[in-house]
Every structure is written in C-alpha cells, then in structure tokens.
Amino acid sequence: MRAHLARVDAVIVQAVIAGALSFAHLHDLAEAAGQSGWKAWAYPVSVDLLLVAAWRRMRQLQRAGQAAGGPRLWFLVALAASLGANVATAGLLDLDDVPAWLRVTVAGWPAIAFFGGTLLAHAPHTPETPAAPAPSAADTPAEPRAVPSAVDRPDREALPASSIDPGPAPKPTAEPVPTPAPAVALPPALVDRVRALADEHRSTTGHPADPDAVRARLGLPPSMTASVAAHL
C-alpha cells in the first residue's frame, strides 16, 4: 500500500512541476508578444484546458469504438502550442524582439481555442450500450431422447400377438417455450433520459409513451426496447 502511494505521489509531483513550467513558459511568451496583465495569464489556462478537453473526448470516443479524428486534431493543436512556447523560451527566440508572425499567432489563439472548445463541447455523445448477457444452459432447450422399446422387433415377431403387452401410450413431449431475453440494465444517466422523454410525451399528448418510440429517439438498437419499457 505504501509503495503504491509513493508511486502516485511521485506522479502527482512530476505532473505539477511540468504543468507549472509549461504554464510559466506560455505566460512569458504571451507577455513578450504584447499580451500584458491578466491576458498573459489567461493564455496558458486556455491552452491547458483545450489540451485536457480534447484528451478526454478522444478517450470517450475510443472506448465507444468510434472515430476520434476531430478530438485528436485539437489535442495536437494544443500540444503544439504548449510545446512551441516551451521551445521558444529556451533561448532560441529573442523575447525582447518577437517576430510579427508570432504576435499574430498569439493574438489569434483565443479564436482558435474558442472554436475547438465549442466543437468538443457540442459533439454528439453516444451512450455506450451494454452487451447482452449470453444465454445460460438452463435457457437452452434439451433435445428429446428416444425411449427404447420394451421388446425388440425380432422378439415381437416371435411372440404371439396376445402375449405382447403394448404398454401405455407414450405421452407427447411438450415443446419448450422459448424464454424471452432479460432486459438489459441501463446506465443511470440513460434511465433519467428515458423517463424525461416519457414525462414530456405524457404532458404533451396525455397518453403514456411508446417504449419503441422512446428507444428510437435515443438512437438505441431494437433489442433495447424491453430495457426501455422496464423504466417507463
């Protein structure tokens, strides 16, 4: 336990030091480019927030099995801005005489960051559909076994007809009724969304909401209709 806490503490300390240095470099570069006062402090906050937001959105899309090209692009843009500021303040650039193209880039960064943050915030969020449980052995119908005859055919032919006891007639085997698939549990956020749509439909039309219509509005597959109906 202590070794695990020591590793976590080391990672946190390293992240804080690296973040503070990058924050200071971005501030110094923005101030050298003509952004004074609180504006010079706002630039590193904007770059770091865009970097974190793009990373989180990219991971969400990857876990959902979707393409994450857009968030990856904005992650690289923010990373290039942070890395560029660190390299520029390493003595390769005269901060007393910043070139015009760098002044233009720093002045145009707020619009770029606002556009990227808006796209990341308003991207459609697809709920993760839980996988349906595999059918158990109890749900699988067993094949009927053939009942062996009490007397073989040669013995029946050898015995007289009066001595052969036909025995009780075999009862017909009832075919097993397929068990309906159990409803899949929905995440709490998706349950709240289902109930909100049902309440909206009831207040508008005065009738209960159709589970299939609610499922279609949420973009869920048809197999999730039973799960939606369980929460209406």
- Please give the distance of CA 78 from its chain centroid, rounded to a whole number: 23
pLDDT of residue 158: 47
Residue with tokens 């059918």: 135
Contact 167, 108 (CB under 8 A): no
Is the confidence at residue 143, as pLDDT, over 70? Answer: no
pLDDT tens figures, 39-62: 889 998 999 899 989 999 989 888
Is the confidence at residue 132, as pLDDT, over 60? Answer: no
pLDDT of residue 151: 44
pLDDT of residue 144: 54
Is the confidence at residue 154, as pLDDT, over 70? Answer: no
Tell me the average pLDDT of the chain.
Answer: 75
Higher pLDDT, 157 or 211: 211
Amino acid at 86: N
Q: How far apart are CA 98 and CA 106, in angstroms?
A: 11
Using CA atoms, how far residue 18 sits from 40, 46, 92, in Å, is 19, 17, 20
Q: How far apart are CA 194 and CA 191, in angstroms?
A: 5
CA angle 162, 167, 171 (to 5 degrees): 145
User: Shortest CA distance to 90 belongs to which of 17, 25, 18?
Assistant: 25
Confidence category of residue 75, pLDDT binned at 50, 70, 90:
very high
Confidence category of residue 77, pLDDT binned at 50, 70, 90:
very high
206: left (phi over 0), alpha (psi -120 to 50) or beta: left
Q: How far apart are CA 85 and CA 43, in angstroms?
A: 11
Least confident of 53-67, 68-82, 88-102, 127-141: 127-141
pLDDT tens figures, 172-216: 666 655 545 556 667 777 777 778 877 877 788 777 777 777 777
State the first-to-last Cα distance of the chain, in angstroms, to the nearest integer: 45
Break the chain into its structural domains and give their ranges: 2-121, 188-230
Query: H/E element holding 217?
Result: helix 211-217
Least confident of 18-22, 33-37, 102-106, 214-218: 214-218
Q: Cα-flanking dihedrals φ and ψ of residue 222, to 5°? A: -60, -25
What number is the average pLDDT over the span 98-114? Answer: 88
Higher pLDDT, 7 or 64: 64
pLDDT of residue 124: 66
Portion of the chain with pLDDT greater than 90, in percent: 6
pLDDT of residue 8: 66
pLDDT tens figures, 58-70: 898 888 888 888 8
Using CA atoms, how far residue 34 sits from 31, 46, 98, 102, 145, in Å, is 5, 17, 9, 10, 89
Amino acid at 28: D
Is the confidence at residue 116, as pLDDT, over 60? Answer: yes
Contact 231, 194 (CB under 8 A): yes
